[in-house]
Amino acid sequence: MTERFTGSFTQQEPIPEEGIEAALRVLQSGRLHRYNVEAGEEGEVALLEQEFAAHVGAKYCLAVASGGYALATALRALGVAPGDRVLTNAFTLAPVPGAISSVGAVPVFVGVTEGLVIDLEDLEAKLDQSNVLMLSHMRGHLCDMDRLMEMCDAHDVHVIEDCAHTMGAKWGDTPSGRHGVMACYSTQTYKHVNSGEGGLLISDDDALMARAIMLSGSYMLYERHLARPPAEAFEAVKYQTPNISGRMDHLRAAILRPQLRDLDRQVERWNDRYRIVEEALRGTPGLTLVERPEQETYVGSSIQFLLLDWDPAQIGAVLERCAARGVELKWFGGPEPVAFTSRYDSWRYAPSVPMPATDRVLAGIIDMRLPLTFSLEDCVLIARIIRTEVGAVWQGG
C-alpha cells in the first residue's frame, strides 16, 4: 500500500497559554493602541521592543504592522528617494522589491548561488550602482556576512538586512540582523514568532531610529518608547519626518512576548525536523542538497533542495506525485507565480535583465515548510515520499 502524509503544511502551533492570557488582559482593558496606557504603565508594545532589542543585542527596536512595512520604513529612514537604485537579491519574496518600489526606488537584482545566497561576485560588480543593499536572507540562508560587509563598507554601501526567515539565526557569534545598519523581522503567521501580521525593526543608529519611530506614527509620543534613542535625537527630525502610520498594537505584542522568550527552544525543535529531512534526502539521485556553512547557525523552519538542470515537465511531475501523496512542495522556478513563489522577472513593475547563472539555480529550487506541528515521525515519512517520487521521475518511472 502506498504511504500518504495526511498532515497540514500550513497549520501552526497554538498561541501559548501565557500569550492568550496576556491578550485577554489587553482586550479586557480596551487599551489596544500602543500609546493608550495608564499612568506608570509601560505597555506591551514598548516592552516587546525592549525585550527584542536585548534578545539580539541591539540598542533600539521598533514594533510595526508588518515585516514589509519595516522594510519600507528602513529605506525611508535612510533617505532613499524616488528614482534611487537599491541593490537586492534576485532570489527573494515579493515584499522586498515591493518595499523598494513603494518608496519610488528601483530594485537592482543581484544573482543567487547554488547555496541559495546572494552571489558576492555579482554583488561586487554592481556595488557602484547604489549606496543601499537590501539583503534578503531568503528562506533562512546566510551568506558570508564578514566578506559581504567588508565589500559594502569599502564602497560606502548601507546594508538593510531582511531577516524575515532568520530570527534566531547567527553568522558566527553574531545574531542575524546585527551586521547591517538596520534590520527587519517579520512576525507573520509562518515566521518564527506568530502574531498573524507584524514586524520589528532594529538599529544602533540614533538618527535612523528616531526617523523610523516618527515615520511609524509616534506623533510626539516617542518618549513612551523604551528601546529608543535619547530625546535629543528626535529634535532634529520631528518636524521634518512625515507620519506614515504603521504601529503595532498591544494585542499582537502581548501574543509575541511569550513566544520570544521561548524562541531558542523552538529553534532547536525546527532544526531537529530539518536535520531528519536533510539526512533522509541525502544521496537521492538527481537531487542536490543545500549544504550549510560551518559559520551559520540556521533556523530550519523550511527546507530547500535543487533539481538542477531538470526538464520543467519532470519537475512538474515530482510536484504532482508528491502532492498526490499529501506532500506540498513549492517550485520557485515555475513560469507563473504560485502562492508565495516568485522569480525576479515576475515583478514586472521592476526592470530586470536575464541572469543565466541565476536563472539556472532558480529553475531548480524546490521549497517545503516544516511547521512545528509535524512530529519527527512525520518528517521521516515526508522525506521518504520525496525521495521515492524524485527517484521515480529521475529514473523515468
Cα dihedral 331/332/337/338 (nearest 10): 30
Q: Are 260 and 51 in contact (CB under 8 A)?
A: yes
CA-CA distance, 90 to 105, in Å (whole number)? 16
Q: Structure pTM?
A: 0.97
Helical pair 376-394 and 312-324, crossing angle rounded to 10 deg: 140
Fold entry, domain 263-394: Aspartate Aminotransferase, domain 1 (3.90.1150)
Determine the pLDDT at residue 342: 78
* Whole-angstrom distance, CA of residue 173 vs CA of residue 295: 8
Sequence-separated (6 or more) residues with CB below 8 Å from residue 164: 67, 93, 95, 136, 137, 184, 185, 186, 188, 191
Q: What secondary structure does DSSP assign to 198-217, as a single string?
A: -EEEEES-HHHHHHHHHHTT
| Cα separations in angstroms, 43 against 26, 193, 247 | 10, 19, 13
Dihedral angle sign, alpha carbons of residues 80, 86, 91, 94:
positive
DSSP at 112: B
Q: How does pLDDT run along the chain (397 residues), one tens digit per residue? A: 589 999 999 999 999 999 999 999 999 999 999 999 999 999 999 999 999 999 999 999 999 999 999 999 999 999 999 999 999 999 999 999 999 999 999 999 999 999 999 999 999 999 999 999 999 999 999 999 999 999 999 999 999 999 999 999 999 999 999 999 999 999 999 999 999 999 999 999 999 999 999 999 999 999 999 999 999 999 999 999 999 999 999 999 999 999 999 999 999 999 999 999 999 999 999 999 999 999 999 999 999 999 999 999 999 999 999 999 999 999 998 888 888 877 899 899 999 999 999 999 999 999 999 999 999 999 999 999 999 999 999 998 5
What residue ranges do the domains of the chain occupy?
A: 17-261, 263-394
The confidence score (pLDDT) of residue 1 equals: 58
pLDDT of 330-353, one tens digit each?
999 888 888 887 789 989 999 999
What pLDDT, on a 0 to 100 scale, did the predictor assign at position 310? 97
Helix (H) or strand (E) holding 170, with range, is: strand 170-171
Architecture of domain 17-261: 3-Layer(aba) Sandwich (3.40)
Task: Give the dihedral of Cα atoms 262, 23, 32, 67; nearest 10 deg.
Answer: 40
Angle of helix 95-102 relative to helix 67-77, nearest 10 degrees, comes to 40
CB-CB neighbours of 174 under 10 Å? 16
Q: Kindly give the pairing relationship between strand 60-64 and strand 199-203.
A: antiparallel
Q: Decide whether 17-261 matches 263-394 in CATH topology.
A: no
| Per-residue model confidence (pLDDT) at position 333 | 87
Name, in order, each residue with C-beta under 8 angstroms of 259's C-beta and a sequence gap of 6 or more: 15, 16, 19, 193, 194, 266
SS3 133: strand
